[in-house]
Amino acid sequence: MPILERDDAQIWRRRTTGQSLVRWFGWLLGVAIFVYCWQLISKSTTWFFVWDAPRIANDIWTRATPPKWGYITQLGRPIWDTLNIATLGTIIALFLAVPVAFLAARNTTPSALFIRPIALLVIVSTRSINSLIWALLLIAIIGPGVFAGVIAIAIRSIGFCAKLLYEAIEEIDHTQVEAITATGASRWQVMAYGIVPQILPAFAGIAVFRWDINIRESTVLGLVGAGGIGLQLSASLNVLAWPQVSLILIVILVAVMISEWVSAKVRGAII
Amino acid sequence: MLRLQKLTKTYKTGDQALKAIDLEVPKGQVLALIGPSGAGKSTMIRCVNRLVEPTSGGVLLDDVDLTKLGSGALRKARREMGMIFQEYALVERLTVMENVLSGRLGYLGFWRSFLRRYPQSDVDEAFRLLDRVGLLHMADKRADELSGGQRQRVGICRALIQNPKLLLVDEPTASLDPKTSRQIMRLITELCQERGLAAIINIHDVALAQMFVPRVVGLRFGEIVYDGLPTGLTPEKLTEIYGEEDWEATIEKVDEDEDVEAAE
């Protein structure tokens, strides 16, 4: 924050002249890179397909409407599988995420030097791989089906839940913990009385939030053979049965809307 | 009963919060610890129950050196020392009753406390204490529904249900209005008298300390610079503790306050 003296008046500027120049040059560089990239992309695009796109889209739209409503009788079971994959996966993930979160939080970890990095590694590694890829791996290991889907969703969710939960643990009010410690409570009692009540709202929020995400993720797991409504979707796509595809998409949309409504209600009730 | 011997605390940053403090608190004596912010008042009482580990020196409670205890023995020793906090430090999402009963955690196994299966004698005592501080009707309320003064009363109950010999009180009135502050201070000193408890009360408000407490200890930069009767706190002494300021008004205020108290 430079202040210049000129004619007895103190003039205040947000940045010095040097800083402004640097910023101006930064913007120039950004625009130049953007233009250059635009040219590169343009060169390697087959523009015929792009100009053609509206016609193809229109073609698919006419084939896909109206949806084949009668097909709904065959979708009940797969959507139920999808819901179960999401719910079971979330429950398993939460059971595994809670200990990981306590080991990862700076204020509860038994050893910041050895155990915390391991817990953080678990969080990062489970988070960094998409559930579709987990499903592919697990189908190779335990075979196709709903079970592979459940495990894929569970593994993918551990890192997410543990990360949010350990951040909640690190943000608790320390004096409440001190107060419980001062009564002569043991380590576990301090946890049950001083820490758990403080993170319970966050925990419930994380659980429904992740469940909501998992419903969306589990709808596509079937594409690789891990059960659920995605199986029907990929089968219909393979035979170009567009009216069936559109009905499946509608069913998925409704399921996701219901799950969002439920999670919003639950979170509202807690907070 | 409580004796601090050359108690020293040096933080990792190199700040010496306490410099070889020697202090003796006899049974049943309530003393106020005054001093500017950063003088080491909070550190001192936290060193007594080892919420902060002292760097060196001894803390003798009935001739047991608390600084040498292992974690199990330390838990047993902590049961003898009740603590009351500035921001009440109640577990906000638990009920008043659960907060009071949490004072018994040191006497209970994990599962019994987890399942809230407290012995009937503890529950009876909790009701008695809540009745004593006038909060019996609030027993089932959640702690965050209470006002500041009410929360501090619950904090007092939690400390007393431990059946302690000593109360460690950290700025009990700093978040309260003047009237509630007086009520809380009166309650603490009365309860100490009833039960023959010793107490160390950290307090900012010199006038309030002078009103309720028979002995005042002044701390400055981690050293004791005053130890004596509240009436001995002359402007010169206060200047020594806090630094240069016009102290006449503070000391005069004591008499006025007592008039107000009498009028109530």
**pLDDT attached to residue B253:** 52
**pLDDT attached to residue B137:** 92
**Pick from A28, A63, A98: which residue ends a domain?**
A63
**pLDDT attached to residue A237:** 87
Interface confidence (ipTM) of the complex? 0.87
A232 and A110 fall within a common domain: yes
Tokens of A163: 């990360």
**pLDDT attached to residue A182:** 93
User: Mind listing the pLDDT tens digit for each residue in A145-159?
Assistant: 888 889 999 999 999
In a domain, A216, yes or no: yes
**Contact B91/A180, CB-based, under 8 Å?**
yes
User: Mind listing the pLDDT tens digit for each residue in A254-263?
Assistant: 988 998 898 8
SS3 A225: coil
**Contact B106/A184, CB-based, under 8 Å?**
yes
In a domain, A84, yes or no: yes
Q: Give the integer Cα–Cα distance in Å for B51 and B54.
A: 9
Binning pLDDT at 50, 70 and 90, where does residue B258 land? very low
The strand pair at B223-228 and B215-220 is best described as antiparallel
**pLDDT attached to residue A11:** 79
pLDDT at B260 over 70: no
pLDDT at A264 over 90: no
**Contact B94/A183, CB-based, under 8 Å?**
no
A7 and A27 fall within a common domain: yes
User: Mind listing the pLDDT tens digit for each residue in B130-145?
Assistant: 999 999 999 999 998 9
In a domain, A246, yes or no: yes
**pLDDT attached to residue B263:** 43
The contacts of residue B35 (CB under 8 Å, 6+ apart) are B41, B218, B219, B220, B241, B242
Best to test chain B binding among A176, A183, A190 (most B CBs inside 10 Å): A183
**pLDDT attached to residue A9:** 79
A82 and A214 fall within a common domain: yes
Binning pLDDT at 50, 70 and 90, where does residue B40 land? confident
Chain A residues within an 8 Å CB radius of B87: 175
Q: Which of A176, A182, A186 sits opposite B91 (nearest CB)?
A: A176
Q: Chain B closest CA to A123's CA: distance in Å?
A: 28
User: Mind listing the pLDDT tens digit for each residue in B201-242?
Assistant: 999 888 888 889 999 999 988 889 889 888 888 888 888 888
**pLDDT attached to residue A144:** 83
SS3 B49: coil
A79 and A59 fall within a common domain: no
Q: How far is CA A49 from each of CA A5, A59, A161, A242, B75, rounded to the nearest angstrom?
A: 62, 14, 42, 21, 75
Does residue B127 or residue B252 have the better pLDDT? B127
Does residue B54 or residue A227 have the better pLDDT? B54
8 A C-beta contact, residue A200 and residue A122: no
The CATH number linked to A218 is: 1.10.3720.10
Nearest to A232 by CA among A253, A247, A215: A247
The Cβ of residue B76 has, within 10 Å, a number of other Cβ atoms equal to 13
pLDDT at B69 over 50: yes
Count of domains observed in chain A:
2
Q: Which of B79, B90, B158 sits opposite A184 (nearest CB)?
A: B79
8 A C-beta contact, residue B254 and residue B211: yes
A167 and A251 fall within a common domain: yes
Q: Which domain holds residue A179?
A: 74-270
A208 and A175 fall within a common domain: yes
Q: Which of A175, A184, A194 sits opposite B78 (nearest CB)?
A: A184
Interface of chain B toward chain A, CB-CB under 8 angstroms: 49, 51, 75-79, 81-83, 85, 87, 89-94, 102-108, 110, 113-114, 155, 158, 162, 168
Torsion-angle region of A184 (φ positive above 0: left; ψ -120 to 50: alpha; else: beta): left
**pLDDT attached to residue A1:** 60
Q: Which of B75, B87, B91 sits opposite A184 (nearest CB)?
A: B75
Chain B residues within an 8 Å CB radius of A179: 83, 85, 89-91, 155, 158
Chain A residues within an 8 Å CB radius of B155: 179
User: Mind listing the pLDDT tens digit for each residue in A14-50?
Assistant: 888 888 899 999 999 999 999 999 999 988 888 888 8
Chain B residues within an 8 Å CB radius of A183: 78-79, 82-83, 102-106, 158, 162
Chain B residues within an 8 Å CB radius of A176: 89-92
**Pick from A43, A63, A83: which residue ends a domain?**
A63
**pLDDT attached to residue B262:** 44
A96 and A127 fall within a common domain: yes
In a domain, A69, yes or no: no
A48 and A146 fall within a common domain: no
**pLDDT attached to residue B17:** 87
Chain A residues within an 8 Å CB radius of B158: 179, 183
Cis peptide before A66 (omega within 30 of 0): yes
The CATH class, in words, for B2-80+166-263 is alpha beta
A148 and A227 fall within a common domain: yes
**pLDDT attached to residue A235:** 87
Report which residue type is found at B142. Answer: R
Q: Give the integer Cα–Cα distance in Å for A163 and A166.
A: 5
CB pairs under 8 A between A and B: 83
User: Mind listing the pLDDT tens digit for each residue in A77-121?
Assistant: 888 888 999 999 999 999 999 999 999 999 888 888 899 999 999
Tokens of B253: 């205020």
A58 and A82 fall within a common domain: no
The chain-wide mean pLDDT, for chain A, equals 88
**Contact B78/A179, CB-based, under 8 Å?**
no
Q: Where are the domains of chain B?
A: 2-80+166-263, 92-163
A39 and A102 fall within a common domain: no
The contacts of residue A46 (CB under 8 Å, 6+ apart) are none
**Contact B92/A180, CB-based, under 8 Å?**
no
Give the mean model confidence (pLDDT) for residues B167-173. Answer: 91
A205 and A137 fall within a common domain: yes
Closest-CA residue of chain A to B86: A175
Chain A residues within an 8 Å CB radius of B162: 183-184
Closest-CA residue of chain B to A174: B89
pLDDT at B259 over 50: no
